[in-house]
């Protein structure tokens, strides 16, 4: 049950006009593919450093989050579908947040034997993000270290048939730029949102960045004909809370968006509370406000933990990078990094020069109703 002070905290957050926070769970670091810009198995600490959260933990977190008016939970990895209990986790989150919640999953779409989108839908999944970087089986296998884009496409088609919202995540790479545009063109006939994602200069992608990076501005230059008469689709209509604009070319069924965390990343609308496999909640990558949830799960004090998280979100206003830009998206997904206890993990970075990317600088403030 929320205390008066917690209700005041919710009211203070609502008064900011920002999107209400949502939970972004990283369920594991394991993956049966090996994308060239990710390569989790190359990391010295591949796997779990500690025992991950279980289904009962996820259920308790979701119930508490629901009391704080959280209405969305997203699951990623690694490849989250490799968890033996993945359907139970989805069900626990759906039950905890309630019937109107959005429950999502990011996957490469090559589901293991015994899983199907039908079963995910029955468990409570409402939307699906599929990582797809080429439609050509050979080039896709080179990029992703295996898998089959045809199987991913089958997964996408079935999800759409069941009424799930579908987004495709496609990383821009210079060698495979035409492949990315072919993936984007799926939105011509399908009611999907294709997100073209800039390569980031972090982790294994650092080895590729200098030769493979393609900015949003450059990609838009190649797609002028598509965007000449495009209309904008609201993020609310798409069920999207991440930054970015989504454009629908004339006559297309779906839309194209950009996630540009290298050239023009903005944290002015960030509202994600990241929760790692072992239950460390991270409301911000620039401020050290992490809080381990396992002790609060054991003590029945999750309400206090969420109070901390909401205060941390509000205190981001004191960060000079808030309402501005930063170039770094640190890999905090897999309990990979030891966080200092009383200092920012990263230095506050200067605002990006608005003249460096007109496609970013021109973006209008995002209205509150698109929560």
163 Rama sector, left if φ>0, alpha if ψ -120 to 50, beta otherwise: left
In angstroms, how far is the first alpha carbon of the chain from the final one?
24
What span, in angstroms and rounded, lies between the C-alpha atoms of 139 and 221? 24
* Cα 98 → chain centroid: 21
Q: What is the DSSP letter of 309?
A: H
Q: Do residues 371 and 14 lie in contact, with contact meaning Cβ atoms separated by under 8 Å?
A: no
pLDDT digits (tens, 9 = 90+) for 311-328: 888 876 555 544 444 444
What's residue 357's pLDDT? 40
Strands 246-248 and 231-233: antiparallel
Residue 197 bridge partners (DSSP): 171, 259
| Secondary element (H or E) of residue 182 | helix 177-184
pLDDT value of residue 5: 83
The CATH number fitting domain 17-315, selected from 3.40.50.720, 3.30.450.270, 3.20.20.70, 3.40.50.150:
3.20.20.70
Query: Using CA atoms, how far apart are residues 48 and 333, in angstroms rounded to an integer?
Result: 11
Q: How does the average pLDDT of the chain come out, rounded? A: 83
CB-CB neighbours of 38 under 10 Å: 20
Rounded CA-CA distance 21/273 in Å is 7
How many angstroms separate the Cα of 114 from the Cα of each of 52, 87, 90, 118, 154?
Answer: 23, 11, 16, 11, 15
**For the residues 2-6, what does the mean pLDDT come to?**
77
Q: What percent of the chain has pLDDT over 70?
A: 77
Domain boundaries, the chain: 17-315
% pLDDT > 90, the chain: 58
* Burial of residue 228, with CB atoms counted within 10 A of its CB: 0-12 exposed, 13-18 middle, 19 or more buried: exposed
Q: What per-residue confidence (pLDDT) applies to 104?
A: 98
CA distance 300 to 22: 21
**Count of CB atoms situated within 10 Å of the CB of 84:** 8
What pLDDT, on the 0 to 100 scale, is given for residue 352? 35
Give residue-wise pLDDT tens across range 110-151. 999 999 999 999 999 999 999 999 999 999 999 999 999 999
Residue 253 has pLDDT above 50, yes or no: yes
Cβ(282)–Cβ(26) below 8 Å: no
């Amino acid at each position: 049950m929320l205390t008066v002070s917690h209700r005041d905290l919710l009211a203070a957050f609502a008064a900011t006009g920002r999107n209400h926070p949502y939970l972004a769970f990283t369920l594991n670091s394991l993956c049966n593919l090996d994308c060239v810009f990710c390569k989790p198995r190359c990391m010295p600490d591949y796997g779990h450093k500690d025992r991950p959260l279980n289904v009962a933990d996820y259920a308790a977190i979701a119930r508490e989050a629901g009391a704080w008016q959280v209405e969305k939970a997203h699951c990623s990895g690694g490849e989250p579908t490799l968890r033996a209990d993945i359907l139970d986790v989805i069900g626990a989150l759906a039950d905890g947040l309630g019937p109107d919640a959005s429950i999502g999953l990011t996957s490469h779409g090559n589901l293991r034997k015994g899983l199907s989108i039908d079963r995910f839908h029955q468990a409570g999944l409402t939307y699906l993000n599929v990582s797809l970087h080429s439609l050509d089986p050979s080039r896709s296998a080179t990029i992703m270290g295996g898998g089959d884009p045809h199987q991913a496409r089958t997964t996408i088609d079935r999800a759409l048939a069941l009424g799930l919202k579908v987004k495709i995540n496609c990383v821009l790479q210079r060698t495979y730029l035409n492949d990315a545009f072919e993936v984007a063109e799926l939105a011509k006939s399908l009611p999907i949102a294709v997100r073209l994602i800039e390569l980031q200069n972090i982790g294994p992608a650092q080895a590729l960045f200098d030769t493979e990076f393609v900015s949003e501005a450059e990609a838009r230059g190649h797609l002028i004909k598509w965007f000449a008469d495009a209309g904008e689709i609201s993020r609310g209509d798409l069920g999207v809370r991440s930054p970015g604009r989504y454009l629908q070319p004339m006559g297309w069924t779906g839309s194209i968006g950009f996630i540009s965390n290298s050239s023009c990343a903005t944290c002015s609308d960030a509202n994600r509370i990241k929760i790692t496999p072992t239950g460390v909640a991270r409301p911000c990558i620039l401020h050290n406000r992490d809080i381990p949830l396992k002790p609060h799960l054991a003590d029945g004090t999750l309400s206090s933990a969420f109070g901390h998280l909401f205060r941390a979100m509000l205190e981001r206003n004191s960060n000079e990078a808030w309402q501005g830009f930063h170039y770094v998206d640190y890999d905090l997904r897999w309990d990979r990094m030891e966080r200092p206890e009383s200092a920012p993990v990263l230095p506050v970075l200067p605002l990006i020069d608005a003249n460096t990317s007109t496609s970013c600088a021109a973006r209008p403030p995002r209205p509150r109703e698109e929560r």
